[in-house]
């Protein structure tokens, strides 16, 4: 007999090594707030179809809010059988309120739940990235206004071609970033469609009001085909692609500056806060910040490639291979956030000496 959420008809427990491979809680715990928000909204929709009483719903919502506080305060205790964030929250809910907790999962599957959690997470985190991209554009614009009289050689084939303004170079990169912001904006439309109510694959048999559920979770609409809804990871692939293309833009920007700050060019000096030195060669000031930005672009592309490879051979609807989607989504978010912040600092502080 096993204590898993799905363990009803199982008599022996899972192999230890498989247990480790299967466990995603240490990664998907980052979705705890979204998982709880989705569960609270779902509990309320179960009341509308008389599958929960008001009283049970109140108990569930109070319990879930307590669990959220435990996570917020770093007090949530992960147990051995907590396979992922969904099972962990439900296990804890049952400990806190007993039997009514088991009714929360009626008609819902982790398949529609996880897709919903990820869309909720991505929706809010896209805004953080967008603000940083806009900040980088703004700092670049300020610099190009301030430095408007600075002239430099423009290059093709890395050979001096025609004279241009330094601001022209600066803004060429800002325009690439602007197209990244446009792509991000466009993506939001597809992220903001709710999969909840698709069940495991064949929909929700209890006639819950999905439009109402979507309004409660602030989604613009609901997905139309339940099989597609639990299969779909396009929104993550798009996100990973957007991150990797922005990474490519940042990398080319960094490469230009790496060249410009070399002794041979001497056009710019990177601030000490964004460089490192050498103990053996005191004359050196290495542009590590820029090299790390250039290097990180590789990892961002790797994440996009990794998820597309995972998806390409999967049969219809949910397959466990897809569990790896969160690791790459979180990683690309953190990587892009970090290189944007560093880039903002670099451009704000560098000195021009052309």
Q: Which residues have a catalytic role annotated? A: 157, 278
Q: How far is the CB of 200 from ligand ARG (least distance, A)?
A: 7
Side-chain-side CA neighbours of 168 within 13 Å: the count stands at 11
Nearer to ligand ARG, 24 or 45 (CB): 24
Q: Does 180 bind ligand ARG (CB under 6 A)?
A: no
Q: How far is the CB of 122 from ligand ARG (least distance, A)?
A: 14
> Under a CB-based contact definition with an 8 Å cutoff, are residues 115 and 229 in contact?
yes
Q: Does 88 bind ligand ARG (CB under 6 A)?
A: no
Q: How far is the CB of 5 from ligand ARG (least distance, A)?
A: 9
Contact track, ligand ARG, 242-281, x by CB under 6 A: ----------------------------------------
Q: Does 216 bind ligand ARG (CB under 6 A)?
A: no
Whole-angstrom distance, CA of residue 40 vs CA of residue 30:
18
Q: Work out whether the CA dihedral 302, 125, 199, 224 comes out positive or negative.
A: negative
Q: Does 91 bind ligand ARG (CB under 6 A)?
A: no
Q: DSSP per residue over 21-58, as a string?
A: HH--HHHHGGGHHHHHHHHHHHHHHHHHTTSS-HHHHH
Q: How far is the CB of 163 from ligand ARG (least distance, A)?
A: 55
Alpha helices in the chain (DSSP H): 16-22, 25-28, 32-48, 54-72, 85-97, 100-103, 110-146, 166-191, 210-216, 226-231, 234-260, 288-312, 325-349
Q: Does 323 bind ligand ARG (CB under 6 A)?
A: yes
Contact track, ligand ARG, 46-85, x by CB under 6 A: --------------------------------------x-
Around Cβ 278, how many Cβ atoms within 10 Å?
A: 10
> Based on C-alpha coordinates, what's the Rg of the chain?
25
# binding residues, ligand ARG (CB under 6 A): 10
Q: Does 318 bind ligand ARG (CB under 6 A)?
A: yes
Q: Work out whether the CA dihedral 106, 189, 122, 21 comes out positive or negative.
A: positive
Helix 85-97 to helix 32-48 angle, to the nearest 10 degrees?
60
Instruction: Single out the residue of 36, 322, 329, 336 in contact with ligand ARG (rule: CB under 6 A).
Output: 322
Q: Does 317 bind ligand ARG (CB under 6 A)?
A: no
Where in 106-145 is the site for ligand ARG (CB under 6 A)?
A: 110-111, 114
**Positions in the binding site for ligand ARG (CB under 6 A):** 24, 28, 84, 110-111, 114, 318, 320, 322-323
């Amino acid at each position: 007999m096993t204590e898993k959420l799905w363990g009803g008809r199982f008599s022996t427990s899972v192999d230890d090594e498989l247990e480790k491979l299967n466990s995603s809680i240490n990664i998907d715990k980052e979705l705890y707030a979204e998982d709880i928000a989705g569960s609270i909204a779902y509990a309320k929709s179960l009341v509308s179809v008389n599958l929960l009483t008001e009283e049970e719903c109140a108990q569930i919502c109070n319990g879930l809010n307590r669990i959220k506080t435990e996570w917020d305060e770093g007090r949530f205790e992960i147990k051995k059988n907590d396979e992922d964030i969904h099972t962990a929250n439900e296990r804890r809910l049952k400990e806190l309120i007993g039997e009514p907790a088991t009714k929360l999962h009626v008609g819902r599957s982790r398949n529609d739940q996880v897709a919903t959690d990820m869309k909720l997470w991505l929706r809010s985190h896209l805004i953080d990235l967008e603000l940083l991209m806009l900040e980088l554009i703004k700092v670049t614009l300020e610099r190009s206004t301030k430095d408007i009289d600075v002239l430099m050689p423009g290059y093709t084939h890395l050979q001096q071609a025609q004279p241009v303004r330094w601001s022209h170079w600066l803004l060429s990169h800002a325009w690439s970033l602007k197209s990244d912001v446009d792509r991000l904006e466009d993506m939001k439309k597809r992220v903001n469609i709710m999969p909840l109510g698709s069940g495991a694959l064949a929909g929700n048999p209890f006639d819950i009001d999905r439009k109402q559920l979507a309004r409660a979770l602030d989604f613009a609409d609901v997905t139309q085909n339940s099989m597609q809804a639990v299969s779909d990871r396009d929104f993550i692939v798009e996100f990973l692609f957007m991150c990797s293309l922005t990474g490519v833009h940042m990398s080319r920007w960094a490469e230009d500056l790496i060249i410009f700050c070399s002794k041979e060019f001497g056009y710019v000096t990177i601030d000490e806060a964004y460089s490192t030195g050498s103990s053996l060669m005191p004359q050196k000031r290495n542009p590590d910040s820029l090299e790390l930005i250039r290097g990180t672009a590789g990892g961002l592309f790797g994440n996009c490639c990794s998820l597309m490879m995972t998806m390409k051979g999967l049969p219809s609807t949910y397959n466990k291979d897809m569990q790896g989607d969160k690791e790459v989504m979180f990683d690309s978010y953190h990587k892009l956030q970090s290189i944007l912040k560093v880039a903002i600092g670099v451009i704000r502080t560098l000195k021009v000496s052309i």
